[in-house]
Structure 1
């Protein structure tokens, strides 16, 4: 684990950059991580997915899979890839301050 300062707040992250404690997450941290992931601005559609993932993880203790995200939000896989290019489940989990989803490489 490594301490990293994101949006002025020091948080613990693992070797892949996923936050260790989801309770340290803030919307400001999400905006900064999104920029690191190549997403310059988070739209209402991005927030819909981020908030769903945080709620889902709060209930299950795990970041949701791609299928759980598409079913739970009504956003198609194609739309999800457009919003979070190159590995949307992994990317949205990182932005949402969650651990790496199961099954992601």
Structure 2
């Protein structure tokens, strides 16, 4: 069963947040060669929850505090600035500032 990924911008973000589904988020990560385990998926869902409540993508410091995890551990887990893949695969807007 293949999931059709909606149109994305040059950085891989969905052009429309309304196109996102969990299946599309996982398919985007797979297409990008990123393995999403349960911990990463939980972070993605928490970022969506934060966005729904605050209507803004959180900076990593706020996000780490929000989910009760150490910021350094989140960086290690994603091997990159974590808010970019978290927001990308969560169908959220691109983060601004320190990510």
RMSD: 2.1
Which structure has greater strand proportion?
1
Higher relative contact order (CA 8 A, sep 6+): 2
Partner Cα separation in structure 2 for residue 43 and residue 83 of structure 1:
10
Alignment of 1:44-83 (within 5 A): 44-83=38-77
Structure 1: gaps (5+ residues): 1-5
| Contact 1:20–1:99 (CA under 8 A) maintained in structure 2 | no
Instruction: Name which of 84, 96, 102 aligns with 2:90.
Output: 96
How many residue pairs were aligned? Answer: 98
Q: 1:66 and 1:37 mapped to 2: Cα distance?
A: 22
Taking structure 1 as the reference length, the TM-score comes to 0.77
